[in-house]
A = this chain, B = another copy of it.
């Protein structure tokens, strides 16, 4: 749901940002408060035909996912949930039952991760569903984990598995029979679980420096950390965490799991860097190292890995 580089650059150039406020170009904006906390805010728009197709995703899944991708931005800073705001434009031809099911999915994930819905806006739309979620979180002052804090020598780490979501999308697009590992992978695509608890734990862990969520694919996302931190990175593609389900899917259908893991997006796992001495409680996999040299080096493969961009 990212990819707005030119736009963000434009904002940085033309909009003065007040002192103390950071995070433009990060997963959330970070607004200092006077009570020892900082407020985290992120907003994302999802448009039918670009981010989802109504034929492919159920209203329940769409409600869940619209929230999930935003909650994940709070997780990516290590923030505590505060709440969310939902704006949605729906064609008049869409039945009332559709919106009810959408809200059902939105409500279920909101309850599960502790984000109350605090407000919203609905309007009609001529022909497509548009959804905009704004999410608020908070963190003790100065503890939010930004993309800009990676240091040479840091280990590059990732929670969970990479590539499952992209394989799930592949399964939908190619009409794979919904059996074996396929339903699991499709769920990973449509019902992602933001890493709220893991993010909060990592933000409280000494030696964890930079963090973001994986929304465009590691191959693209790691470049954000590199760019914001002014560092390089070396990634060992053979160490990427691949689920048994992803491997099974790729064996069955003759695909390369690394394509999904690196170039596919929307895993909503956490990508973070930590000093080698950091004592990390959250389950994770070390996939590489931050380097002083500003380049990106892929070990274990000579292919060119590029994330995808929306805009």
Which chain A residues have a beta carbon within 8 Å of chain B's beta carbons? 1-4, 6-8, 10-11, 14-18, 21, 23-24, 28-29, 31, 33-35, 37, 39, 41-45, 47-51, 82-83, 85-89, 99-100, 103, 107, 110, 116-128, 130, 132, 134, 136, 310-311
Give min CB distance, A48 to chain B, whole Å.
8
Tell me how many chains of this kind the complex includes: 2
Shortest Cβ distance from A1 into chain B, in angstroms? 7
- On whether the beta carbons of A118 and B1 are closer than 8 Å, the reply is no
CA distance A107 to B127 in the complex (A): 30
Q: Is the CB–CB distance between A11 and B117 below 8 Å?
A: yes
Would you call B35 and A119 a contact (CB within 8 A)?
no
* Residues from chain B with Cβ under 8 Å of A123 in the complex: 1, 3-4, 45, 47, 50-51, 310-311
Q: How far is the CB of A15 from chain B (nearest CB, A)?
A: 4
Given contacts A50-B125, A134-B85, whether A29 and B103 have CB atoms under 8 Å apart is no
Measured CB to CB, the closest approach of chain B to A291, in angstroms, equals 29
Question: With the chains together, A37 CA to B34 CA distance in Å?
Answer: 9
Report the nearest B residue to A25, measured CB to CB: B119
A137 to B71, CA, bound (A): 22
Is B29 a contact partner of A89 (Cβ separation < 8 A)?
no
Contacting pair B35 A34 (CB below 8 A): yes
Contact present for B121 and A47 (CB under 8 Å): no
With CB as the reference atom, state the residue of chain B lying closest to A132: B132
List chain B residues, Cβ under 8 A from A42: 85, 119
Q: Which of B2, B33, B83, B85 contacts A33 (CB 8 A)?
A: B33
CB atoms of B83 and A21 under 8 A apart: yes
- A122 interface neighbour in B15, B118, B121, B311, Cβ under 8 Å: B311
Complex CA–CA separation, A47 to B37 (angstroms) = 35
Q: Which B residues lie within 8 Å of A85 (CB)?
A: 29, 41-43, 134
Q: Is the CB of A41 within 8 A of B88?
A: no
When distances are taken between beta carbons in the complex, the residues of chain B under 8 Å from A35 are 33-35
Residues in chain B near residue A43, CB distance under 8 A: 85-87, 119-121, 132, 134
Cα A100 to Cα B10 in complex, Å, equals 8
Q: Do A119 and B45 contact each other (CB < 8 Å), given the known contacts A110-B15, A124-B311?
A: no
How distant is the Cα of A66 from the Cα of B103 in the complex, in angstroms?
A: 26
Q: Which residues of B contact A3 (CB under 8 A)?
A: 122-123
- Bound-complex Cα distance A91 to B290 (A): 37
Given B14, B44, B130, which contacts A45 in the complex, CB threshold below 8 Å? B130
Q: Are B126 and A47 in contact (CB under 8 A)?
A: yes
**Do A118 and B310 contact each other (CB < 8 Å), given the known contacts A3-B123, A50-B124?**
no
Report yes or no: A29 in contact with B118, Cβ–Cβ below 8 A: yes
Residues of chain B lying within 8 A (CB to CB) of residue A120? 4, 7-8, 11, 43
Q: Are B122 and A83 in contact (CB under 8 A)?
A: no
User: CB-nearest residue of chain B relative to A16?
Assistant: B116
